Structure 1
Amino acid sequence: MSNEKLTLFNYFNDMNNQEIILTFKGTISQEILADVGISLRSKLGSYSVSKKTFAIFVELAQNIYHHSAEKEFSTSKGRTAGVGVILIQNHRDYLVLSSGNLIENYKIEGLIERCDYINTLGEDDLKEYYMKQRKRPTGGIGANIGLIDMARRSGHPLEYQIVEIDDETSFFALSIKVDKE
């Protein structure tokens, strides 16, 4: 038991040292999203920064919900939902929002291409690409809207990392920087 306490204490200290202001693992319900919104408003102070941060948090949560290879049954939704991890790290002049989840390996190439393409676009081109994607008949899930929207809101590139787990899945981590203004 003492090793478990030490491990949790170390985890707690690591989060404090890295200025993690929020971390969550699991499926995210509407209630959790509402609580996160309230928490961000109180922790960040600035309405525009907390609004932008919350919008990106929601996009990260939706990506996990829809695209994670790991699923759990959500009693509140009455269906399976994706499982992942989200955290917000505080820095002096900016925040970093990060998410991670398992993804099927056959989806990786397309995801990398989308992220890399979005990262080549400037502000006006991002807006144009966003509008173009919204008009596509597939719309909604898988239309790249979330990734584009996060890049537009943050004004920074999407940073990602992929760690192969096995022949079928990898861990996809996505980070987005948000200036505190």
Structure 2
Amino acid sequence: MKYIYDLHKTMLANNLILIYEGEFTQEITKSVLSMAERNMDSMGEESNIKRKVFNVMVECLQNIVKHSDEVDDHDSDQPSAIFMIGKSNTDYIITTGNPIKNENVDKVKGRLDKINGLDKDGLKQLYKEIIKGTEISEKGGAGLGFVDMARKSGNSLDYAFEQMNDKYSFFSLKSTISGQA
């Protein structure tokens, strides 16, 4: 039972408001969003900050729902997806993690590096280009999610890939949203 207290201390030390680990469906996504929104309401957060945080959370959660690769090994040690939101001083930190196939790592890394290399105007231009010229992928995305996260947060997207085995890596993504208007 001590692990519960240890987990609680870890959450407090890292200013974590909400953590969800497991299967992500549209219904679970709605519940996670609702809980996070109630937390921000109870903290008396300004509506424009809540809107930014909410928009980035939606993109992060949709990214998990649409683009996580199912690990086909039925090994219980294989991680599922995770979502965390925390607050440090005035900034909100949204972190997600999910398995992706190793063959997709370079593509995702390239997309994130390109986005992180753009300023506000560059992100706006890329967003417009994607809207005008992109078809919806088989997974239901047009590639706007990362761009939207960077635009809404006003910050670069931090990421990492940890190789799990010869087929999969665990993709971690962190977005920081300034809590100052």
**Normalising to structure 2: TM-score of the pair?**
0.85
Question: 3-state SS of the aligned residue for 1:127?
Answer: helix
Matches within 5 A, 1:1-181: 5-26=1-22, 27=24, 28-43=28-43, 45-70=45-70, 84-139=81-136, 141-181=140-180
Partners of 2:91 and 2:177 within 8 A in 1: yes
More strand by share: 1
> How far off is 1:130 after superposition?
0.4
Alpha-carbon distance in 1 for matches of 2:36, 2:92: 15
Partners of 1:160 and 1:173 within 8 A in 2: yes
Partners of 1:93 and 1:180 within 8 A in 2: yes
Question: 3-state SS of the aligned residue for 1:138?
Answer: coil
Identify the residue that residue 77 of structure 2 maps to in structure 1. Answer: none
Task: Let me know the Cα RMSD of the aligned residues.
Answer: 1.7
Alpha-carbon distance in 2 for matches of 1:137, 1:112: 19
Partners of 2:158 and 2:174 within 8 A in 1: yes
AA paired with 1:57? M
Runs of 4+ in 1 over 6 A off after TM superposition: none
Give the count of matched residue pairs.
Answer: 166
Mean CA deviation greater in 54-63 or 30-39 = 30-39
Relative distance call for 1:35 and 1:92 in structure 2 (3 A) is closer
Partners of 2:149 and 2:175 within 8 A in 1: yes
**Normalising to structure 1: TM-score of the pair?**
0.85
AA paired with 1:167? D
Alpha-carbon distance in 2 for matches of 1:44, 1:97: 19
Partners of 1:44 and 1:50 within 8 A in 2: no
Question: 3-state SS of the aligned residue for 2:43?
Answer: helix
* 1:121-147 superposed Cα distances (whole Å, 9 cap, x missing partner): 110110110011112241463432000
> How far off is 1:155 after superposition?
0.6
Instruction: Give the % identical residues.
Output: 29
Mean CA deviation greater in 49-58 or 109-118 = 49-58
Relative distance call for 1:128 and 1:44 in structure 2 (3 A) is farther
Mean CA deviation greater in 112-121 or 89-98 = 89-98
AA paired with 2:9? N
Relative distance call for 1:176 and 1:36 in structure 2 (3 A) is same
Alpha-carbon distance in 2 for matches of 1:154, 1:135: 23
Alpha-carbon distance in 2 for matches of 1:93, 1:175: 16
